Structure 1
Amino acid sequence: MQSKQAAWRFAWDIPAFRLKLVSGLLCMAAIIFYLHDFFQFIQGRNGLILHDSVLRAIPAIDVSPLIFLILYPVSGYLIWRIRKNSKLCITALWGYIFLCLGRMITISLIPLNPPVGLIHLSDPFSVIFYGDNLITKDLFFSGHTATIVLIGLCLEGKREKYIVFTAALVLGILLLVQHIHYTADVIAAPFFSYLFWYLGKTVAKI
């Protein structure tokens, strides 16, 4: 454990690491600052309603507590692992930056109206990204699913990867049960996650 903790001290002595960490945190702060205006813009525009046979076959049920029971413990576990691994921190940080930017691009290019029967996800932390407004059109691709898959890709142990990927599968199903996303949003998310994980890993290696 001592050597793992020391890795952070050694990493901080490397100028390239400090640059990647500080610039990443600044980029993340800028994204959070801009997201409120971005989501206001996409919420105000009109989009397409997809004909989703999977959602039509599932009655909409509020499963918000179950979604949070998966999302936040998994996110907390990543933070716990980061405290022992400086390289994991850079990979996850930049991977998530690319994820946020990627979602902004795809959401801008693919305007969608929310699925029929959508039940709003009551997230106490959504104010960080959405402000006080109800946002329902941030659809393609699923940010919740992509985030959990990204975490699984960043982690190194086979067992923890298996657990997190299983959690991502359950989370994706729950999002469909609550009609928060279209099926395409959830299915596409892991493919984008792999791309963003690869980019984040590349930044960590430079």
Structure 2
Amino acid sequence: MLSFKENNTLPALTWKEAVKADSFKIRLLVISLIFAAILFAFPFFFQHIEQRDGYLLKDFIVDHLKPADVSVPIFVCIWGITLLMIIRCIRNPMLFLVGLYGFIVLTLMRMLTISLIPLNPPHGLIPLVDPLSNFFYGNKSSFVTKDLFFSGHVSSQFLYFLCLLKPRDKKLALISTVIVGSLVLVQHVHYTIDVVAAIPLSYLAYRIGKRVAMGRNAA
């Protein structure tokens, strides 16, 4: 039976044990199909938002920051914590399930808010060099600049912070969240509101994802 322990950690199951549970297999199959559908839709979605015109916001913080290319430290932080999350998920199937559900909910929330709130990027934007993200976006030759509200860079890092179990892992993810949130403003990739809103919205995605992944047993 899948359940949380009293200290709100995930059950310590091996993959062999987890796949014996029908509820785990069903939830894993469902989320895998949804994830595949989202990956298929990504190129069309981002091509659409790049072609539309949006609003240009006045941002006191960004407007007073001299733009600088900090793609490398952003890339290192994002994919370093992502790799850490993957390693932990390999050892903990329940962490994988909760993390993947949270990520899918977060992605769907971003697609909705980006669709409803069309924005043009801040003045002085320096394209973020991230070939791995561009690969998943289905666009290797140009940059996506209008996926603004809310920040996927910051929200994904904070989601990992919420999901990871070990105190040291959580500390690293939280530090990465702060660093990435600061640097995307320096590079003028996002508005301040994109970064600030990413925190509560990623927490909401985590809570929804965990409840769906764990069913009645979610804390």
State TM-score, norm by structure 1.
0.95
In the TM superposition, residue 135 of structure 1 has moved relative to its aligned partner by 1.6
Aligned to 2:46: 39
1:22 to 29, 32, 35: 29
Q: How much has 1:75 moved relative to structure 2? A: 0.3
- The one-letter amino acid paired with 2:139 is G
Counterpart CA distance in 2 for 1:153 and 1:139 is 22
For residues 182 and 72 of structure 2, the distance between their equivalents in structure 1, rounded to whole angstroms, comes to 14
The 8 Å contact of residues 68 and 126 in structure 2, kept in 1 or not, is answered as yes
Alignment pair present for 1:127 and 2:123 = no
How far apart in 1 are the matches of 2:213 and 2:135? 30
- Contact 2:97–2:213, Cα closer than 8 Å, also in 1: yes
Would you say the 8 A contact 2:128–2:143 is kept in 1?
A: no
Equivalent position amino acid for 1:29 in 2? A
Question: 2:32 and 2:74 mapped to 1: Cα distance?
Answer: 27
Q: Return the alpha-carbon distance in structure 1 between the equivalents of residues 168 and 136 of structure 2.
A: 32
- Tell whether the 8 Å contact from 2:150 to 2:198 is kept in structure 1 after alignment: yes
Shift of 1:86: 1.2
Q: Which amino acid aligns with 2:53?
A: N
Q: Relative to structure 2, which stretch is displaced further, 155-164 or 120-129?
A: 155-164
Q: Report the CA distance between 1:180 and its aligned residue.
A: 0.3
Which stretches of structure 1, 4 residues or longer, exceed 3 Å deviation after superposition?
none
Query: What is the one-letter code of the residue matched to 2:196?
Result: I
The answer to whether structure 1 residue 86 and structure 2 residue 93 are counterparts is yes
2:205 paired residue among 179, 196, 199: 196
Q: Which moved more, 1:130-139 or 1:184-193?
A: 130-139
- State which of 118, 130, 149 in structure 1 corresponds to 2:125: 118
Contact in 2 for aligned 1:24/1:93 (Cα 8 Å): yes
Query: Which consecutive unaligned segments of at least 5 residues does structure 1 have?
Result: none
3-state SS of 1:83 partner: helix
- Counterpart of 2:165 (choices 156, 161, 182) is 156
Does residue 1:138 correspond to 2:152, yes or no?
A: no
- Separation in 1, partners of 2:212, 2:171: 25
CA shift, 1:161, in A, is 1.3
Q: Contact 1:90 / 1:203 at 8 angstroms: preserved in 2?
A: no
Q: Is the 8 A contact 1:70 1:171 kept in 2?
A: yes
Aligned equivalents of 2:202 and 2:129: distance in 1? Answer: 24
**SS of structure 2 residue aligned to 1:116:** coil
**Aligned residues: CA RMSD:** 1.3
Distance change >3 Å, CA 101–CA 172, structure 1 → 2? same
- Kindly tell me the number of residue pairs found equivalent between the two proteins: 203
In 1, distance between residues paired with 2:145 and 2:82? Answer: 23
**Distance between the aligned counterparts of 2:48 and 2:214, measured in 1?**
36
1:165 matches 2:174: yes
